[in-house]
Amino acid sequence: MKTRPILFTTLVLLTLVVSACAPALSAPAEPPTLNVAGAGTADLKPDIAYIYVGVHTELPSASEAMNQNNAQTQKVIDALTAFGIDAKDIRTTSFSIWPFDKYDPATGASTGEKYYAVDNTVYVTVRDLAKLGSLLDTVITAGANTVNSIQFDVADKDAALKQARADAIADAKTKAQELAAAAGVSVGAIRSITFADSQYYPVYEGRGEGGGGDAASAVPINPGQLTFTVTVNVTYELK
Three-class HEC string of 177-195: HHHHHHCCCCEEEEEEEEE
- Residue 65, φ and ψ in degrees, nearest 5: -65, -45
Rounded percentage of the chain residues whose pLDDT exceeds 70: 79
105 CA to centre of own chain: 39
pLDDT at 25: 57
Rounded percentage of the chain residues whose pLDDT exceeds 90: 67
CA–CA–CA angle 232, 235, 239 (5° rounding): 145
Hey, where are the domains in the chain? 33-43+159-197+233-238, 45-155+202-224
pLDDT, tens digit, 9 for 90 and up, residues 1-40? 455 555 444 444 444 444 454 455 566 778 899 999 999 9
pLDDT at 237: 96
**Spatial distance between the Cα atoms of 223 and 202, rounded to a whole number of angstroms:** 7
pLDDT at 149: 82
- Residue 188, φ and ψ in degrees, nearest 5: -110, -140
Computed over every residue of the chain, the mean pLDDT equals 85
Lowest-pLDDT range, 23-37, 124-138, 147-161? 23-37
Q: Are 83 and 128 in contact (CB under 8 A)?
A: no
Q: Are 36 and 176 in contact (CB under 8 A)?
A: yes
Q: Which residue has the higher pLDDT, 11 or 92?
A: 92
CATH architecture for residues 45-155+202-224: 2-Layer Sandwich (3.30)
**Spatial distance between the Cα atoms of 62 and 117, rounded to a whole number of angstroms:** 8
pLDDT at 26: 60
